[in-house]
Each structure stands twice: as structure tokens, then as C-alpha cells.
Amino acid sequence: MNAATTYSPPYHRRHHQHHHFQLPPPQSQPSIVSIPTQKSILDLLNSKPATSSLQSLAQIHALALKTGHFHDHFVSGTLLKCYANPRFHNLDSAIQLFRNVPSPNVFVHNVLIKACLDNGEPLQAVWLYYELMMNDAKPNKFTYPTLLKACGDGGIVAEGKQVHCHVVKLGFAGDGHVKSAGIRMYGYFGMAADARKMLDDEDDDDAVCWNAMIDGYFRCGDVGSAEEVFDEMGERSGFYKEALEVFNTMQSERIRPGKFVLTSVLAACAHLGALDHGRWVHAYVRRKKKSIVMDAVLGTALLDMYAKCGRLDMAWEVFESMKEKEVFSWNAMIKGLAMHGRADDAVELFFEMQRRKFRPNGITFIGVLNACAHSGAVEQALKLFDSMENVYNIEPEVEHYGCLVDCLGRSGRLEEAEELVNSMPIEPNPAVYGSLLGACRIHGNAELGERIGRLLLELEPNNSGRYALLSNIYAKAERWDDVAEVRKLMKERGVKTNPGSSMIELGGCVHEFKMGEGCHPKMKEIYSTLKVMIERLEMEGYVPNTSQVLFNIEEEEKETALQYHSEKLAIAFGFISTKPGETIRVVKNLRVCDDCHSAIKLISRVYGREIVLRDRVRYHHFRDGTCSCKDFW
């Protein structure tokens, strides 16, 4: 017999003397009987017995009635949620219970609206929303994701549009969960244009919204538009990991990606350092060579991916095999060489492209000047810079001046770098001053660093990196009062620091680590491995470099903070997840600190591992205790 038709909810018997609540067994000694509190009843409702059987739930219900806690909306709402559990098939009893809740608030309404949807009654959910409005309970942001889904599931277009109007009127249109539910609803209706308009209405889109839009286009059969949205997803919003997840879904649904989607996937792989995914795309293009032409655009995206994933050899192989090359192809290869500290090769390729009748442009010079900056080739950089106007008739822009300032500054020629900034024919931008500030940190020039740093804090008051760099300069000079002042200024302006994060791809899955976070399933093993690693390094003479720790704290605490930098966590995970001797590849969002750089050099020698680390600026290839950057970065 169906439990939904035979079960009578206990509130129909609330005036009876008998309740099905099991009293504790009699005790031999008198005891004080405590009256259940709201918390104790909520704990019972959230316990396993409450969801195991209707009989247990009825006993808790009876207790709530007897003690008067049923009138508490948290209690009645939670009780309602338990009755509406789909495994009980008891939605009718949940609705009857709802009718007995005194003046139900929005929480209670939301619980039942979701319950209706979970039990396959979307139209009932929409009707309850109408009641909510009539009861003047005022919906909140938790009401609408469920309601919009109910409209989509129920196929009620007119009501869905009305709910959308309410969302806009009440100011919830910018909430990511509400917005994604609305986009998905219009996708269910086959109204892709309305879904796209909802996506574009607010600037603060999240990955869920983009995924919903792509899903909506697929539902409408518009694969071309779905691919266009996917193409925008990573570049416009930075959802690279999510973009790869969407791509994997496309593959599982046997949707054949076109050239433009593959180009976007390669861009996401390049950003994340997802070499395995990138290799898969390369293999796919080879298999589909009859339908997918390796033109200059796709070929350049492929070589850029390999270069940014640390496989410069594969990038060069792709570049050499490309039948079609454009100036941007040469630029990408020069930039790749620059990132890996191969300045001489980058300059040689610069001249080779001209021998092949390709004329350099402004972007070409940014790449080759960066190569010089990261290798200390100052004289070569000065010659190239002078040739821009004199030989190639290219007027230097602020980015080119920034490269030259960076080159002079990294080489310790700070006075010349400052003079160049002051004599520029165009207004220096914050990036130019930032290059000079970075050079001041490298060479310990606190006086110039303070002057440039204070200027940058006014130009970019919300750029946390500027505060961190100035703090590092003060900390290196042991000016702790100034460090505290910078930290105080950050707090007053509400500036949040960008947490360091490192990513490592293993088995086609990208793992991300942040200092202080312990959500990875192997975190306990990672910390244990890292501890052993640090102990072994210390036996080899490793001493933590605490000069860049921003706070004036005890030395022991500084050393502990350095141990758990994200790149060290990623490397430890790589150790426990790969075979001895395998190369470990890590991508970090910030510049690697001096301590990590020194530690990883030693790790590569002690453990006989090659470690490839890409930081925000360049690549570091650690092998046998040395780094490809030659400690010049």
C-alpha cells in the first residue's frame, strides 16, 4: 500500500495524550529530566534516524509539538524538509504540514518549493511561490534558482518570464546562482537569444553561467553558437579550468570540436600548463587532418601551448613543421624562447624571420626585448631598441620602454633605468614603474624603491602586488615599521592580497594548491612528504631565506610559512604521484620567491629530478642543482 496515501501526519493528533516518542529507560537513581531545546531538536532532525524512516521522523515531530518548538520556523522548515525527502514519496504530508505552520517565513516557503521540485512537481512549486508573494514573505536570492528551474522543467514560458521580471525588480539579477538558473531556464524553452541577453546583462559572470549558456545552445541545436561561447569563455572571463571541463563534456557527448574550439582549448591548456590535454588536441588534429587544416592560427596556438607547458622542444617541432606561418607565428616562437631564457636563440630567430621575408612588428620587438631582459643582454637590447625607428620605422610604445627599463633594472643599472623613465617621450604607465620597483627589490635599493613604490600606490591603489613588493623592499632592509605602515594602508583601503597558487597536471587532471588550504584528498600525505623533503634538504645545508616574509615575526614562524608555499606543496604531490626520475611540471600564478628558487634547485640535485616551474614572468628548468635562468630572473 502506498505510504503517501495511508500515512497520517502527526499534527492531526496533536491534541491527543499519546505520542509515539520513545522515553528513555527508567534509571535506578532519580535524575533531572531536561527539556529539549531548539538546537537538540534540530540535531535530531539532522541525524540519520530522522531520514531513515517515517516512524522515527514522526516521533521527533511529536516532540517538537509537545515542547512548543514546532512554532520555530527553523524547526518546522527542517521538519518539512525531512518529510519531503523523495525516498519517502510523502510530498502530500509535507504540504499538509506546511499548512499548519503559523505565518511561514521565506525559509519555510523555500524549503517546500525545493521539495516540490525534487519530487517532480514543478507546477506545484510555482504555485507555492504565488502563495509566498500573497503571504508577503518576501522572496530572497535562495528562492529564485529553484523557482526558475521549476519554470524550465514545467515548460511554463509566460510564468518563467514573469519570475525573471521579479528577479530584476528585486535586484537579484547579478547573483551567479540566480543568473545561471535563468540562463538554463531559457535554454529549456529553446529561447537562446533571451538566455544570451541574460548572460550579457551583468559583468560579474561566473563559470556556471557560461556553462549554462553553452548547454542552452546545445539544447537548441545551435552547435556553432555553443562553440563561439566556449571560445569566449576562457579568454574573456579567465575560466580556464571550467573551459576544459566543458570541453571534456563535449567529448563525452561525441560533439566534434571545430578549429576555433580547439584553438580556445589550447589557450586554456597553455594558461593552466595542462600538457596532457594539449597533447590530446595535437593527436586529435593529426587524426582529423582531412577535416581540420593545420593553418597558421591553429599551429601557432599549438606551439604556444607547448612553450607555455614547458616543452620548448615540441613547440619548436610544431613551428618547423608548419607549412603556413604568419608574423604572429614567429612572434609566438620568439616569445616562447624568451620565456625559457633562450635569449640568443630568440635574437637569432628575429633575424631569421627577416631572411624569410617576414617583417617584424611592435609585438616582435616586445618578445625579443623581453628575451634580452631575462638574460642580462643589455647592449643587445639597446641596439634593438634603437633600430626600431632607425631601421624598421616602428615608433616605440610604452610597452617597449617598459622592456628596456626592465632590462636595465635587472642588470643593476638603476640610475640609467630611472633616467630612461624620466626622459620618455610618452607618459610612463604603472607597468613601467613596476619594472623599476622590481629591480629595486632585486638589488636592495630601498631609497629608490620607496620613491617609486609610493608613487605606484597612488597610481594603482587597489593593486595588491604593488603593496607586497614595497613591503618586501622594506622587509629586506629590516624597516619593520614601514612594513606595518604599508599593511595598515592596505587594510584601510580594503585591498586584498592575491594568494599564491600552484597547479600541476597529472593523468589529465589539473590539481591546484594554495598555502593554508587543506582540501586536497591527499593533503595529509603531501604534508608528510614535504616534511621529510625539508628535513633532507636541511641535512644538505639548506637554510630558509626569510628575507621576503612580510611580517616581523619570529624566525621559526617565518621558516614554517615558507615551507608551505604552494609550489612546494605541488612538488610534494608530484613526488607521491609520479615514478622516480619523472619530470615534475608546475605552474604558479605569482613570481617564485628567492627561498623556493633556492630550495627547488637543491631538490633537483638531492632527488635526481628535473623540475620545470613556470611563474608569472618566466620558466625555470631545475636540473642537478642549477636553474636555466642562471639565478637571473
Instruction: Indicate if the pLDDT at residue 530 is higher than 50.
Output: yes
Of the given ranges (257-261, 279-283, 332-336), which has the lowest mean pLDDT?
257-261
- Is the separation of the CB atoms in 305 and 278 below 8 Å? yes
The pLDDT value given to residue 624: 94
In the three-class reduction of DSSP (H, G, I as helix; E, B as strand; rest coil), residue 587 is classed as: strand
The pLDDT value given to residue 561: 56
- Separation between Cα atoms, residue 399 and residue 547, nearest integer Å: 31
627, β-bridge pairs: 622
Please spell the DSSP secondary structure of 530-549, one letter per residue: HHHHHHHHHHTT-----TT-
In the three-class reduction of DSSP (H, G, I as helix; E, B as strand; rest coil), residue 450 is classed as: helix
Q: What is the mean pLDDT of residues 107-132?
A: 89
What percentage of residues in the chain have a pLDDT greater than 70? 85
- Separation between Cα atoms, residue 196 and residue 117, nearest integer Å: 25
pLDDT tens track for 138-175: 899 999 999 999 999 898 999 999 999 999 999 898 88
The pLDDT value given to residue 369: 95
The pLDDT value given to residue 553: 40
Instruction: Indicate if the pLDDT at residue 25 is higher than 50.
Output: no
The pLDDT value given to residue 601: 94
pTM score of the predicted model: 0.64
**Highest-scoring range by mean pLDDT, 1-5, 201-205, 372-376, 512-516:** 372-376
Pick the more confident residue, 529 or 231: 529
Cell numbers for 208, please give them: 556556471
Q: What is the mean pLDDT of residues 416-430?
A: 93
Of the given ranges (6-15, 439-448, 582-591), which has the lowest mean pLDDT?
6-15
pLDDT tens track for 70-80: 777 788 888 88
DSSP code of residue 206: -
The pLDDT value given to residue 248: 78
The pLDDT value given to residue 138: 85
Instruction: Indicate if the pLDDT at residue 29 is higher than 90.
Output: no
> Model confidence at 233, in pLDDT bands (50, 70, 90)?
low
Domains located in the chain, CATH noted? 397-498 (1.25.40.10), 503-627 (no CATH)
Q: Is 286 buried (19+), middle (13-18) or exposed (0-12) by CB count in 10 A?
A: exposed
Instruction: From residue 105, give the alpha-carbon distance in Å to each of 73, 74, 76, 110.
Output: 7, 10, 10, 9
- Is the separation of the CB atoms in 82 and 52 below 8 Å? no
The pLDDT value given to residue 21: 34
pLDDT tens track for 323-359: 989 998 999 999 999 989 888 999 999 999 999 999 9
Of the given ranges (102-116, 243-257, 362-376, 465-479), which has the lowest mean pLDDT?
243-257
> Model confidence at 35, in pLDDT bands (50, 70, 90)?
low
Pick the more confident residue, 611 or 631: 611
Instruction: Indicate if the pLDDT at residue 315 is higher than 80.
Output: yes
> Model confidence at 303, in pLDDT bands (50, 70, 90)?
very high
Of the given ranges (173-177, 248-252, 367-371, 453-457), which has the lowest mean pLDDT?
248-252
What percentage of residues in the chain have a pLDDT greater than 90? 41
- Separation between Cα atoms, residue 130 and residue 132, nearest integer Å: 5
CA angle at residue 307 from 292 to 330, to 5 degrees? 70
Instruction: From residue 162, give the alpha-carbon distance in Å to each of 151, 153, 181.
Output: 10, 16, 14
Of the given ranges (17-31, 440-454, 473-487, 583-597), which has the lowest mean pLDDT?
17-31
pLDDT tens track for 545-566: 665 554 444 444 444 555 678 9
Instruction: Indicate if the pLDDT at residue 9 is higher than 70.
Output: no
The pLDDT value given to residue 60: 77
- Separation between Cα atoms, residue 180 and residue 211, nearest integer Å: 8
Instruction: Indicate if the pLDDT at residue 593 is higher than 90.
Output: no
CA angle at residue 549 from 547 to 550, to 5 degrees? 115
- Separation between Cα atoms, residue 158 and residue 166, nearest integer Å: 13
